[in-house]
């Protein structure tokens, strides 16, 4: 999800070595040796499941044309996806409302969609300079770990905050480590998206991942949330995604615009999905349409069509 005035923001077929949990993509030891240059070799793009990030429908949700409880039904019936990724903004007072969460879980099950994760915003800065503020942010996030567990999700996506850098991650790591430990006790991963600020600097985000040093604390690579200058990406987004993928426990297929052939006009989706494949990931890839040329439904459908076209295709390089 993109930083916004209303700021918000894999499914295993079986157990694998290393004890991977529901929601992660299948991995092999070879994934650890995947090329991190962002220049994948030609070859087949692998299998993956498609989920829908709720932010793709934020206009409909904020305008009350769509209610959070109906999101699983819409995701299945209108878009034919296998999983849903919630945004806490759309049920922010329901984290400990057991009746509401049971109803939401029941609706998702009735429509055959997996509850994948919850994207968390507005719960404090996990890298705040003052320890008391960091501790408060950790406590604020814990209720969403509880909610994710009750819904049967595998993860929450957190914002890591704005007060760390590639060489200064100790405070952020302390808070993120504490939250990750709480998540682990509930079998919920804590994952970080490149979502503005230092998190969109791969050097800073990966320094934080290393400092926390927990397999329960990983990344959610977003295809588009990287810094821009004069309308162009200021860093090599493909290299950045490749570096994030070894730690990925989710993937966010950010889309903006499409050309006449149905390809994303800002990002080489084929190249990115080959990077995803080479990292050993075959879990959920979440559609997150954030363009303006198409309506929300049209943008979601265009993104899904592109992902389906790429799945199992040959990447020419």
Give pLDDT tens digits for 84-132: 999 999 999 999 999 999 999 999 999 999 999 999 999 999 999 999 9
CATH architecture assigned to 29-255+267-291: Alpha-Beta Barrel (3.20)
Q: Are 12 and 283 in contact (CB under 8 A)?
A: yes
Mean pLDDT calculated for residue range 224-231: 90
> What is the structure's pLDDT at 6?
35
Task: Report the distance separating Cα 250 and Cα 59, nearest Å.
Answer: 24
> What is the structure's pLDDT at 259?
97
Q: Domain residues of the chain, as ranges?
A: 29-255+267-291
* Chain position carrying tokens 């903006």: 256
Residue 9 has pLDDT above 90, yes or no: no
Residue 28 has pLDDT above 90, yes or no: no
Q: Which two tokens stand for residue 215?
A: 């397999």
List pLDDT tens digits, range 186-216: 999 999 999 999 999 999 999 999 999 999 9
Task: Report the distance separating Cα 225 and Cα 254, nearest Å.
Answer: 8
The whole-model pTM stands at 0.90
Cβ neighbors of 201 (< 8 A, separation 6 or more) are 165, 166, 227, 235
Task: Report the distance separating Cα 188 and Cα 253, nearest Å.
Answer: 22
Q: Work out the number of other CB atoms within 10 angstroms of the CB of residue 223.
A: 26
Query: How confident is residue 231, by pLDDT bands cut at 50, 70 and 90?
Result: confident
Task: Report the distance separating Cα 230 and Cα 194, nearest Å.
Answer: 20
């Amino acid at each position: 999800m993109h930083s916004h005035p209303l700021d918000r923001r894999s499914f295993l077929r079986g157990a694998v070595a290393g004890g991977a949990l529901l929601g992660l993509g299948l991995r092999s030891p070879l994934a650890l040796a995947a090329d991190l240059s962002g220049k994948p070799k030609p070859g087949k793009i692998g299998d993956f499941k498609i989920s829908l990030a709720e932010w793709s429908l934020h206009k409909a949700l904020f305008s009350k044309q769509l209610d959070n409880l109906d999101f699983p039904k819409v995701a299945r019936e209108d878009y034919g996806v296998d999983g849903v990724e919630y945004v806490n903004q759309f049920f922010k007072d329901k984290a400990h409302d057991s009746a509401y969460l049971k109803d939401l879980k029941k609706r998702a099950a009735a429509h055959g969609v997996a509850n994948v994760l919850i994207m968390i915003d507005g719960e404090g800065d996990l890298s705040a300079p003052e320890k008391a503020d960091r501790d408060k942010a950790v406590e604020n996030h814990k209720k969403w770990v509880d909610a994710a567990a009750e819904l049967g999700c595998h993860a929450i996506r957190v914002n890591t905050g704005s007060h760390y850098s590639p060489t200064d991650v100790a405070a952020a790591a302390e808070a993120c480590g504490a939250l990750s430990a709480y998540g682990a006790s509930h079998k919920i991963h804590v994952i970080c998206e490149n979502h503005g600020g230092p998190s969109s600097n791969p050097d800073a985000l990966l320094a934080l991942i290393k400092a926390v040093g927990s397999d329960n604390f990983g990344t959610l690579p977003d295809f588009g949330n990287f810094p821009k200058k004069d309308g162009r990406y200021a860093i090599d987004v493909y290299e950045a995604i490749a570096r994030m993928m070894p730690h990925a426990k989710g993937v966010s297929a950010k889309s903006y615009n499409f050309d006449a052939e149905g390809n994303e006009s800002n990002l080489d989706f084929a190249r990115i999905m080959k990077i995803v494949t080479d990292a050993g990931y075959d879990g959920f890839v979440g559609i997150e349409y954030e363009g303006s040329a198409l309506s929300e439904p049209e943008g979601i459908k265009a993104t899904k069509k592109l992902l389906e076209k790429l799945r199992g295709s040959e990447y020419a390089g």
